[in-house]
Amino acid sequence: MRSTSFKSVSTHIPAGVMVRVHAANCVLGIIKGKSLNNTLPKALSELSALDKGLLQEIVYGTLRHRRLLDNTLKDFLKKNVKGAFFLPYTLLLCAFYQLTMMRVPDHACVDVTVEACRFLKCRNYCNAVNAILRNFIREGKQLKDSDNPAIRYSMPDWLYNKIHEEYPREYQSILENSNNKAPLFIRVENSKIATTEFQKILEKQGIVSKSYADMPSTLLIEKALTVDKLPFFKEGLVSVQDFSAQYASTLLKLEDGQRVLDTCAAPGGKSAHILDLANVSLTSCEIDMARMTTMQENFKRLGRSPQCLCLDASQGLTSIEGEFDRVLVDAPCSGTGVIRRHPDIKWLRRQKDIATLVATQSRILDHALTKVKKGGILLYTTCSILHEENTLQVEQFLERHHTVHLYPFSHKGQVCGYYQRLPGEDGGDGFFYARFIKD
């Protein structure tokens, strides 16, 4: 597969064309097995604030509906996608998304897509791209529906089948919510300012927000905006954090003076929330140095200074001295509960990955338990909706260790030891929580 690196993109390209060039490269990166974290930031750095939003809309939307778009596009192709045609193919996928789900005028979409094809050194395909788009417009710009729900919801077959099998009643809602745009939730640093006071600040700037009685630090911003538009973000009064992620730290029953361990902390949202909830001694661990650096930058913005350690919790925690009152295991997982925020997960995750993740989670849990004091709390969370990573993981953990048992908590009027939140519930991401106490 042939592609153009971002460095080779000319700064003289018209902005609209450059957006499509970057969009095609990002989508191609996913096809080649790269994550958006590896491709999108570089592309965004070369665009204006207005064009950044357009690029993200095209890339995220195309990935959300990729299989449905491809199902439509293939009827307009005369040959299989291979070799040098991969870039024109990704340009066409992006264009089909713009023509069907965005308010991009037909002629403008055709013009910028053809120009992007030319700048991507695919001149031999410009006429084909032009003809395909004009034929699609001429035929009414209708996406080809499918009797196959995996295509309709743009899910890999294995993941669709798994969700359908595990959630026979809720699977349709899960798939629909996973393809929706995620709302913007923020967490107000209540140790610095009351949520009601911060809402007044937002109101003065014309930003409408919704509060939650059972989540006092949480606000839903009605109309999504970038963090540079959030008042006092740089000053550390607020962080962007999903509703479901914020709920996790509240289950730790934190008290001043406790010793707390966050075993898989990056990018640091839950660690920061812990420090906002109570005056504790916190140790935050992370396996990846680059993610550790990002986490420390977030702590600096918030004026927080936990002890930060770069280590692999799945290989043991013996280098950390002593035991802790509270231990959080926000485990590496499939991310199937946050697909709406990371649509590349659908195309990068493989069925064989799940067993590897489950084994890693098990090791981290076992090592984490060794650091919990008697009478201490161990909280296990994932942003997955798969049973193997969640309920089955909990059952196996309890079978291995008879010194711990579930420590029930009240949620929505029910008492439970663990809880599976599905995508879209309370507006939040899919998330799992299990709380244990050590005898």
- In sequence order, the β-bridge partners of residue 418 are 434
pLDDT tens digits, residue range 44-63? Answer: 999 998 899 999 999 999 99
Say whether pLDDT at 355 is over 70: yes
Q: How high is the mean pLDDT of the chain?
A: 94
Cβ neighbours for 144, distance < 8 A, ≥ 6 positions apart: 68, 71, 72, 75
H or E stretch covering 158: helix 157-166
Report yes or no on 225 lying in a domain.
Answer: no
pLDDT band at 145 (very low <50, low <70, confident <90, very high): confident
Q: Domain total for the chain?
A: 2
Query: For residue 13, what pLDDT is reported?
Result: 82
The reply to whether 138 and 245 lie within a common domain is no
Q: Coil, strand, or helix at residue 367?
A: helix
pLDDT tens digits, residue range 320-330? Answer: 999 999 999 99
Say whether pLDDT at 398 is over 80: yes
Distance of CA 72 to the CA centre of its chain: 27
Query: For residue 4, what pLDDT is reported?
Result: 42
Rounded CA separation 60/71 (Å):
18
Report yes or no on 68 lying in a domain.
Answer: yes
**Average pLDDT of the residues in 259-279:** 98
Strand 307-310 to 281-286 pairing: parallel
Rounded CA separation 71/66 (Å):
8
Which of 117, 145, 173 terminates a domain? The answer is 145
The one-letter amino acid code at 212 reads: Y
Which of 145, 168, 184 terminates a domain? The answer is 145
Which of 97, 113, 145 terminates a domain? The answer is 145
Cβ neighbours for 259, distance < 8 A, ≥ 6 positions apart: 280, 281, 283, 322, 323, 324, 325, 326
Rounded CA separation 12/329 (Å):
48
Catalytic position from the list 109, 117, 264, 383: 383
The reply to whether 137 and 258 lie within a common domain is no
pLDDT tens digits, residue range 294-304? Answer: 999 999 999 99
**Average pLDDT of the residues in 225-234:** 94
The reply to whether 287 and 421 lie within a common domain is yes
Query: For residue 49, what pLDDT is reported?
Result: 86
What is the domain-level CATH number for residue 288?
3.40.50.150
The reply to whether 136 and 248 lie within a common domain is no
The reply to whether 269 and 135 lie within a common domain is no
Say whether pLDDT at 9 is over 70: no
Q: Coil, strand, or helix at residue 256?
A: coil
DSSP 8-state class, residue 183: P
Radius of gyration of the chain from its Cα atoms, rounded to whole angstroms = 23
Q: Confirm whether 383 is a catalytic residue.
A: yes
Instruction: Work out the widest C-alpha separation in the chain, in whole angstroms.
Output: 71
pLDDT band at 84 (very low <50, low <70, confident <90, very high): low
Cβ neighbours for 203, distance < 8 A, ≥ 6 positions apart: none
Residue that is written with structure tokens 């995620």 in the block:
182
Range of the domain at 97: 6-145
What is the domain-level CATH number for residue 43?
1.10.940.10
Least confident of 77-91, 219-233, 325-339: 77-91
pLDDT tens digits, residue range 302-340? Answer: 999 999 999 999 999 999 999 999 999 999 999 999 999
Nearest to 194 by CA among 217, 214, 220: 217
Say whether pLDDT at 12 is over 80: no
pLDDT band at 83 (very low <50, low <70, confident <90, very high): low
Say whether pLDDT at 8 is over 80: no
Question: Is the omega angle on the peptide bond into residue 267 within 30 degrees of 0, that is, cis?
Answer: yes
The reply to whether 249 and 378 lie within a common domain is yes
Report yes or no on 206 lying in a domain.
Answer: no
Report yes or no on 152 lying in a domain.
Answer: no
Report yes or no on 75 lying in a domain.
Answer: yes
C-alpha separations of 90 from 8, 151, 335 in Å: 18, 18, 25
Query: For residue 6, what pLDDT is reported?
Result: 42
The reply to whether 254 and 123 lie within a common domain is no
pLDDT tens digits, residue range 111-142? Answer: 999 999 999 988 889 999 999 999 999 999 99
Query: For residue 416, what pLDDT is reported?
Result: 96
Rounded CA separation 354/206 (Å):
44
Q: How far separated are the first and last CA of the chain, in Å rounded?
A: 57
Q: Coil, strand, or helix at residue 375?
A: strand
Report yes or no on 186 lying in a domain.
Answer: no
pLDDT band at 78 (very low <50, low <70, confident <90, very high): confident
pLDDT band at 146 (very low <50, low <70, confident <90, very high): confident
For the chain, percent of residues with pLDDT exceeding 70: 96
The reply to whether 304 and 416 lie within a common domain is yes
Query: For residue 3, what pLDDT is reported?
Result: 41
Report yes or no on 155 lying in a domain.
Answer: no
Token pair of 194 as six digits: 């009351």
Rounded CA separation 394/403 (Å):
14
Report yes or no on 88 lying in a domain.
Answer: yes
Query: For residue 80, what pLDDT is reported?
Result: 72
**Average pLDDT of the residues in 223-246:** 95
Rounded CA separation 333/205 (Å):
38
98, burial (CB in 10 Å: exposed 0-12, middle 13-18, buried 19+): buried
